[in-house]
A = this chain, B = another copy of it.
């Protein structure tokens, strides 16, 4: 992509509306714009990242045997009344009244809809287990939308649901999903912890949160570096992070680390909470009618983009983890009015594109300082700098966004170095 043709509006100033660094940088780098409180537009650069995250999640979910589908956002009130959640969810669920005066909720989550679908199609234990998931826009009328897309009112979620004939089956699928989640967050480049947690509005017997460690996280955890034991901090500690107590690991007796965290995933052992209320049953081996044993598995897809920035940035801007960076390489001709520099950059851009490299070319007629600032702001991992001085020495400069490491190479060496780096 050529920057002169890209819809990629960057901002110099720190927007006053944004309190945390990911929100500031997403606005400044032109990844998102605000339409209303808690309602954001993903601009092209941000959307590429969102799609990359989605693709990582899809690959791991499919590899774990889950099948993708797409459920509606509009959910009939009657389904939510079967579980009693029409009342329980209350004002957090946005509602629509259609022209025939029927009520719909705008799905904040999809347990009722998926359970309704499966109860119509899966009648026998022979058809179990099944894991279904979707990527979808969810709606929650948060009391305090904040931190940009971190806590929005309209956001993208991956929600998955497993259906089993017994607890043993659920446990297998729950472990499969937990492993898929670990793979996903590792591939996204996260420093994260899996923590046992409560279950909130979704409910069930047991749940685990996946926390990306970050100072700005809304949650607080203790974790043991030695043995992987983790626990969530109590409410009072969350309110006053200054008064962190010493926690000793129950397993290895070492002192635990304290960290704030961003919840990027949550898995729930639902048991029969939904299936029993919704009379969602199958016939077991003995011909007896039993409710499905369910699990539920959520990932905040849009939130991952923000969490990745919280974990990986510096004073100059974003530092994208390689796997979710919108582009792998940015080519920076320092002066496009200098013909050899312009031609050298164009040739390299074309060569990289032809090799299938995702490359951005800053072909704008701007000063070198502006280009460096914007390149650091948008955070592409590999910068390739073409300057008149470099060309005089037959040298191209490769600079890594994260470490600042520099390589000065001829064109051929540069192409093979780039291949090695991405």
**B40, A72: Cβ atoms closer than 8 Å:** yes
* Residues of chain B contacted by A374 (CB below 8 angstroms): none
B residues less than 8 Å from A117 (CB atoms): 33, 35, 41
Q: Are A130 and B50 in contact (CB under 8 A)?
A: no
Partner of A139, one of B39, B44, B74, B132: B74
A27 shortest CB reach to chain B, Å: 12
- Whether B106 lies near A35 (C-beta < 8 A) is no
User: Is the pair B72, A44 in contact by a Cβ cutoff of 8 Å?
Assistant: no
CB neighbours of A143 from chain B (8 A): 99
Q: Which of A64-120 contact B (CB under 8 A)?
A: 65, 67-76, 91, 94-96, 98-99, 102, 104, 106, 113, 116-117, 120
A104–B72 CB distance below 8 A:
no
Q: Are B7 and A130 in contact, CB atoms less than 8 angstroms apart?
A: yes
Which of A7, A33, A117 gathers most chain B CB within 10 Å? A7
- Report the Cα distance A44→B66, complex, angstroms: 10
Contact of B7 with A76 in the complex, beta carbons under 8 Å: no
Residues of B within 8 A of A96 (CB): 94-96, 106
Asked whether A74 lies within 8 Å of B41 as measured between CB atoms, the reply is: no
A192, CB-defined interface residue at 8 Å: no
B-contact 0/1 string along A139-155, CB 8 Å cutoff: 10101000000000110
Q: How far is the CA of A96 from the CA of B97 in the complex (A)?
A: 8
Report chain B residues within 8 Å CB of A46: 69
Q: Is the CB of A71 within 8 A of B41?
A: yes
Flag if A154 contacts B35 (CB, 8 Å): no
Which of B65, B98, B154 is A74 in contact with, Cβ under 8 Å?
Answer: B154
Q: How far does the Cβ of A25 sit from chain B's closest Cβ, in whole Å?
A: 17
- Cβ of A421 under 8 Å from chain B: no
- Cβ contact within 8 Å between B44 and A68: yes
Instruction: Establish whether residues B94 and A69, one from each chain, have CB atoms under 8 Å apart when the complex forms.
Output: no
Known: A44-B69, A74-B154. 15 other contacts (CB 8 A): A6-B67, A7-B121, A33-B120, A35-B71, A35-B74, A36-B72, A36-B104, A39-B72, A42-B69, A43-B69, A44-B132, A47-B70, A72-B154, A73-B137, A137-B137
Q: Which residues of A contact B (CB under 8 A)?
A: 5-7, 9, 33, 35-36, 39-44, 46-47, 50, 65, 67-76, 91, 94-96, 98-99, 102, 104, 106, 113, 116-117, 120-121, 130, 132, 137, 139, 141, 143, 153-154
